[in-house]
Amino acid sequence: MVKYLLKKSYLQKDLKEVPFKDLWNNNGVFTTMWIYGNPPKILFFNSHITNLIKSLKVFKILKKNTQKNILNLIKKNIDKKTKYDHLLRVALDKKLISISLRKKIKTSTNFSLNIINHKRFKPEFKNLKYKIILKHLSKLNPAKEDIGLSVNNKILETGTSNLIFVSKNKIYSPLNKFYKGVNLKFFEKKVKIIKKNIFLKDLINFEEIILIGSGKSVTSVKSINQFKWKRRSIKVYGKLKNIFETEAKKKKYFY
């Protein structure tokens, strides 16, 4: 069960605090950001907010003062004296803005994927329609496992993260039908990532499979038992992890 450091909800119209609702499966959107250090930093903060506003427009939730209100509520609920290593989730529907903080989990070196046949609703946007995903994730240990989402024998993303694949030192990501997170966009500026359809039958051709995201940071997959796939290298994982950690160290405070 998730242990929250903070969870609060506010009415969009006047920012009055009301009983907390996580808003899962409502018609709305969310973003999850890594907040860390003391004073607190939020990695890729501006990019997260930009993506969130873009999705709010698509779902027709964005109001005149929404962005300003989100920023004010984040500042209101973040303690500058606390040392963080948490995930900050901001979720919105037409009525509410919900903010929560939970401890960021360190992933295991024995991390595995379980492939399911599922594609998220409007996958290009980080929306709240997660009923099936949450059902599967609730059965897993998040430090050791995630679900891989697959449709038409193509793997797209996981329940929590983007995926990249490595073959002969070349890095690939799925072509489309998934949400491109800000962490993946960051790496696209640092290394060459080739976009192509990743078919399940071709997984055996990849030496490395890596999760990229706010919650999983950079996580190397050890195995996918359904396809008898096992990790054969951590070379690119090590390179990407070093890039990520270097960026996190130099990040300025968000406020």
Residues 145 and 98 grouped into a single domain: no
Identify the pLDDT of residue 254: 65
Of the residues 103, 132, 155, the one at which a domain ends? 103
pLDDT tens per residue across span 226-249: 999 999 999 999 999 999 999 999
Residues 193 and 94 grouped into a single domain: no
Our count of domains for the chain comes to 2
> Domain range holding 144?
112-247
Q: Is the pTM of this model over 0.75?
A: yes
Residues 201 and 234 grouped into a single domain: yes
Of the residues 72, 103, 134, the one at which a domain ends? 103
Residues 126 and 68 grouped into a single domain: no
Strands (E), the chain: 4-11, 17-18, 29-37, 41-42, 84-92, 96-103, 112-117, 145-151, 154-158, 162-167, 170-173, 193-195, 208-213, 217-220, 223-224, 229-230
| pLDDT of 27 higher than 70 | yes
Of the residues 76, 103, 130, the one at which a domain ends? 103
CA distance 184 to 196: 15
pLDDT tens per residue across span 176-199: 999 999 999 999 999 999 999 999
| Domain of residue 75, CATH code | 3.30.470.10
CA distance 105 to 85: 9
| Domain of residue 202, CATH code | 3.20.10.10
30 contacts 90 by C-beta, under 8 angstroms: yes
Task: Single out the residue of 81, 102, 75 nearest to residue 5, CA to CA.
Answer: 102
Is 40 within a domain? yes
